[in-house]
Amino acid sequence: MYTGKEPMGLLWSMRPVPGSRKGLRLRKINVCTPMLVNISVHSGHEGFRDRTPLASALAERWYMAPGVKRIDINKQGVQGTLFIPPGPGPFPALLDMWGGGAGLLEYRSALLASRGYVSFSLDYLRSEHLSADVEFKYFETAFNIIRNHPQVIPDRVGILGSSLGSMVAFNLTAYSTIIKPRCIVCISSNHYHPPGTTLKAGFKILSKHFHKAHFDENNYMSWRSFALDLIADPSNNVEVGRINCPMLLVNGCDDQNWPTVETAEEVARLLREGGKEHLLSRLAYPGAGHLIEPPFSPHFRATKFIILNSKEKVILLWGGHTKPHSDAQEDSWRKILSFLQLHLYHSPSVKANL
């Protein structure tokens, strides 16, 4: 709900229909078609679904600009979807990774391509990608696939990761001797990655701490409390002080899933101690939760989550309050684009084809 004049309020304030299954989350799967939103005006709030609306309209929300190319990728063992902007190129590029419960999602990459970036939405949570002898190489190979694409400027490739994807971004940038991203953006920052563990092993460690999880009045699970204990041990975390490229951290101050603000503070401390604080930009939003998406996406404080490589389903508490969270999504997207423009496009010889 919202009050006042909000141009996109009818989108970001959407809720599941009363009586729907618990834990639902609205996300666009097929980005080649628009998201259709029926907007109707009714008289009164009770039983309105059984009444004829006073007025109605159909709104379309597109994620791909005209001319953006969508290409399925399945090569060198790597899977995902590549989006290429219209125009002659070459373009800067991004490796785009969502979090632990997402699977393959394409709408952020489609939006980035619509803004002038080749974007590779990476599928990385299938079991065949998570064995110890494959995992790190898998991400390096994915980065090289996009870097070596003929439509990409090879020394202007960044990484954008949300939640678990941000941990992968930290890990790759700190430890890879093969790839050197131009910059990284970490949304809902996570640098927890015990040395020598795979993502699968990391989830197993997390699951051993579930008995310490906090449950709110709705019995929604929060990992934040035991995660604070896990990241308090420096040996559990990526050595972010090894990173030598600009980074932007975007976090919600009401994140109930992971201690992302504390993670950002620790990253800042380590970089400061190493004389690298100039590399860091930070955004922290009061009232925003963990699921910081592109602008005008509906806010969900808690949703269903399937634990990686298990059949266990829980409803995770992500946090956030609708109005400040939605404001954070709009503001952070604008500032993410500015950060990318500065570090991937800013050069006398590189011009954006927007």
Q: Concatenated DSSP letters for 101-125?
A: TT-S--HHHHHHHHTT-EEEEEE--
Inter-residue contact 63 to 293 (CB < 8 Å): no
Q: Which distant-in-sequence residues (6+ apart) come within 8 Å of 203 by Cβ?
A: 100, 307, 308, 309
Q: How many CB atoms lie within 10 A of CB 180?
A: 14
Q: Which residue has the higher pLDDT, 101 or 30?
A: 30
Please give the pLDDT value at position 352. Answer: 42
Place of tokens 């590399």: 279
pLDDT band at 241 (very low <50, low <70, confident <90, very high): very high
Per-position b or e across 86-123, b if 16+ CB within 10 A of its CB: eeebbbbbbbbbbbbbbeebbbbbbbbbbbbbbbbbbb
Domains annotated for the chain, with CATH where assigned, are 63-345 (3.40.50.1820)
Please give the pLDDT value at position 348. Answer: 44
Q: What percent of the chain has pLDDT over 70?
A: 94
Rounded average pLDDT over 313-324 = 94
Inter-residue contact 104 to 121 (CB < 8 Å): yes
Strands 313-317 and 302-306: antiparallel
Burial of 74 (0-12, 13-18, 19+ CB in 10 A): exposed
The rounded distance, in Å, linking the Cα atoms of 85 and 354 is 9
Residue 316's alpha-carbon distances to 183, 203, 287, 299, in angstroms, are 30, 15, 17, 14
Is it the case that residue 351 has pLDDT exceeding 50? no
Is it the case that residue 261 has pLDDT exceeding 60? yes
Catalytic residue numbers read 163, 255, 290
The rounded distance, in Å, linking the Cα atoms of 242 and 90 is 30
- Extract the tokens encoding 195: 């040395």
Inter-residue contact 41 to 55 (CB < 8 Å): yes
Is it the case that residue 354 has pLDDT exceeding 60? no
Indicate whether this model's pTM tops 0.75. Answer: yes
pLDDT tens digits, one per residue of 16-52: 887 888 888 888 899 999 999 998 888 877 777 778 8
Rounded average pLDDT over 187-196 = 92
- Extract the tokens encoding 69: 């190319």
Please give the pLDDT value at position 133. Answer: 65
pLDDT tens digits, one per residue of 209-237: 888 999 999 999 999 999 999 999 999 99
pLDDT band at 127 (very low <50, low <70, confident <90, very high): low
Mean of per-residue pLDDT scores for the chain:
91
Residue of 315, 321, 325, 261 lying closest to 293 (CA atoms): 325
